[in-house]
Amino acid sequence: MKNPILFYFDFSSPYGYLASLRIDAIASQHGREVAWKPILLGAIFKASGNATLVQQPLKGKYSIHDFARSARWLKAPYQMPSAFPIATQNAARAFYWLNDSDPALAKALAQRLFAVYFAEGRDITSPETVIAEAKALGVDPDKLAAALADQAIKDRLRAEVEKALELGVCGSPYTIVDGEPFWGADRLDQVDAWLKTGGW
Amino acid sequence: MKNPILFYFDFSSPYGYLASLRIDAIASQHGREVAWKPILLGAIFKASGNATLVQQPLKGKYSIHDFARSARWLKAPYQMPSAFPIATQNAARAFYWLNDSDPALAKALAQRLFAVYFAEGRDITSPETVIAEAKALGVDPDKLAAALADQAIKDRLRAEVEKALELGVCGSPYTIVDGEPFWGADRLDQVDAWLKTGGW
């Protein structure tokens, strides 16, 4: 059994959302699993000296246009959230907590949170929102609330971000296939080809 | 006759080079012409607050890897030039000077300069190199040397860069199809589809 494909993203990343709609289908065509790895782009940008795209002159206006056009290109439901970008610690921590006991359910929660934010345009910053969405999927809300308040899950997310930086993750999405890194939703066709051919 | 597709690039941009190998073939499939528009990324970066990719932490190492992998993906001859990035004023000025009298020859010179830099790995900064390559294509070297020393062509390039900034050009390559902007070599499939469908 090969190692899973690592799929790094921030829940506040439009391109991360768009890639999340395709990555598992691409992997499964080649008999591979995907380990989803939510991270915090703020920490990545601090290391790389970058800022959020939409806050940059010139690139900001283009990016907002490209997010929506790329979504239409993929026929993906999308709207630019009014709150953007947002802090995604609670979403990421809930994911990792759930992932330790039920990876499939954790992925379902991640997909749901992406949909709430980018398809419905609702803010997913607060623990209350994350807990409500998890509860709708059958997660015990009191246990999740307790987990989110625990230092252990904060340390866990910090460790995941540190690991991402060690691996060279410089943006979202960032997909690693057997050590080979692909940055961007627009590299998924190459990810597909890499899985098919073993590289070029 | 529709307006030409605008193809903005810097001669020092690997993704600009890779896109230059495809853009005319894509356009001609839809009966369209391409106006090549060399610019200076330094001026664009000054406006957008960015730096050259390879000089950025994390992104630098990834980018150098991705340049070469993207070239192999496209089966394009490529090597990372030892001098990188370089000042491309002379290349761009020679292009615009030649373009006024012979657009086809100007494009041939641009293609040749890209090949010298990214396929052969030789620096194209100096006026001597640009003039020698132009001469090999049949351009009068004395006339080009005089043109490159003239204030008029310096003003012309500055005006082209200003125009690019007005149009929102935020990187290289940056392709504009009937007002619709596409940033990146990895948007050429969308450019192709946009030309085919008229947009989505």
- Please give the pLDDT value at position B195: 98
d(CA B138, CA B132): 10
Q: In the numeric block, which tokens belong to residue B37? A: 């528009």
The per-residue pLDDT for B1 is 64
Residue range B16-42: average pLDDT?
97
Q: What pLDDT, on a 0 to 100 scale, did the predictor assign at position B56?
A: 85
What chain B residue is nearest to A182 in terms of C-alpha separation? B66
pTM above 0.90, yes or no: yes
- pLDDT tens across A75-95, in order? 999 999 999 999 999 999 999
ipTM above 0.90, yes or no: yes
Best of B48, B53, B61, B62 to mutate (most A CBs within 10 Å, chain A): B62
Cβ of A168 and B58 within 8 Å? Answer: yes
B169 to chain A, any CB pair closer than 8 A? The answer is yes
CA A156, chain centre distance (Å): 16
DSSP string, A86-153: ---HHHHHHHHHHHTT-HHHHHHHHHHHHIIIIIS-----SHHHHHHHHHHTT--HHHHHHHHTSHHH
